[in-house]
Amino acid sequence: MKKLNIAQAQPLIRMAIEEDLGPGDVTTELLFPDSSTAQATIVSREEIVVCGIPVLKEILRQYDPRLTLTPHVRDGQSAHVGSKLATIEGPLRALLSAERVLLNFLQRLSGIATTTNKYVRAIRGTKAKIYDTRKTLPGWRLLEKYAVRCGGGYNHRLGLYDGILIKDNHLAELGKNLSTRLRRVVEDAKNRKGLSFVAVEVDHVDHQLNHVLKIPGIDIVLLDNMGQWQLKHAVRMRDEMCGKGNKPLLEASGNITLDNVSAIAQCGVDRIAIGAITHSATAVDIGLDR
């Protein structure tokens, strides 16, 4: 699993601290002298997949470098109700001031990892893999995509800059001679450096997929909002037209839930893209106990 570059998260963490702390924690400053020290434990209150330990270290460093974090689990590990995730020691004022921000990050990221892992477990035994999308909170994308990896999922493109995805609105603007123009676009895309893939979206198997499969250089065909019989038809068409050679991967997307993801995976697709693992993941219950 690709590790998190914590330096890329520092601006977001700094903003969160400034938003919450402002000019100072007036309650804590009134109650406790600056010399007070304490210890606290971060505890899971439900079954989760942990994500965010490196983020916690950076949050504590920005509050007060004297705060130390001793992790008891690693990102990507499962934790049970009552599991101790980490211990924090250091100045009491800084520890109490940091509580809400560090829990906000840990609860959200662990929520995404936990949600992703539910989808990953639901498709075990199939060849399909779970992918995220660009449906992320502004400013949180790198962290949320890291959380997806911690949950056993995979990352789609990071943004508009590192992968080509020709969607339905692009195709509509190409107008007539679609196949010819699309072939030229794919050829040009293959000459660009730094791209992870070239993908084309189709929403009609019989009207579009047969044309797209004839164009060399396409890495992924996105099958948008298709039912199971359409997905199976698309898999058969791809296998018959492309044989055992270099054939594009098929990716299902749209209206995918935990209730139907297993059935979709069994249709034979290679990838399943799910926006819900980031935009609709519920924060998990984690507490800071003294």
Catalytic residue numbers read 100, 135, 167, 201, 224
- Judge whether 134 is annotated as a binding position: yes
- Judge whether 111 is annotated as a binding position: no
Query: For residues 211 and 34, what is the distance between their CA atoms, to the nearest angstrom?
Result: 70
Q: Does residue 26 contact residue 20 with C-beta atoms inside 8 Å?
A: no
Exposed / middle / buried, residue 178 (Cβ in 10 Å: 0-12, 13-18, 19+)? middle
- Judge whether 224 is annotated as a binding position: yes
Query: For residues 75 and 154, what is the distance between their CA atoms, to the nearest angstrom?
Result: 15
- Judge whether 253 is annotated as a binding position: yes
- Judge whether 139 is annotated as a binding position: no
- Judge whether 19 is annotated as a binding position: no
- Judge whether 184 is annotated as a binding position: no
- Judge whether 274 is annotated as a binding position: yes
Query: For residues 267 and 48, what is the distance between their CA atoms, to the nearest angstrom?
Result: 29
Extract the tokens encoding 18. 């400034």
- Judge whether 6 is annotated as a binding position: no
- Judge whether 254 is annotated as a binding position: yes
Extract the tokens encoding 242. 């492309």
- Judge whether 271 is annotated as a binding position: no
- Judge whether 167 is annotated as a binding position: yes
Residue by residue, what is the 3-state secondary structure of the chain?
CCCCCHHHHHHHHHHHHHHHHCCCCHHHHHHCCCCCEEEEEEEECCCEECCCHHHHHHHHHHHCCCCEEEECCCCCCEECCCCEEEEEEEEHHHHHHHHHHHHHHHHHHHHHHHHHHHHHHHCCCCCCEEECCCCCCCCCHHHHHHHHHHCCCECCCCCCCCCEEECHHHHHHHCCCHHHHHHHHHHHHHCCCCCCCEEEEECCHHHHHHHHCCCCCCCEEEEECCCHHHHHHHHHHHHHHHCCCCCCEEEEECCCCCCCHHHHHCCCCCEEECCHHHHCCCCCCEEEEC
Annotated binding site: 100, 133-135, 157, 167, 201, 224, 253-255, 274-276
Annotated binding site for substrate: 100, 133-135, 157, 167, 201, 224, 253-255, 274-276
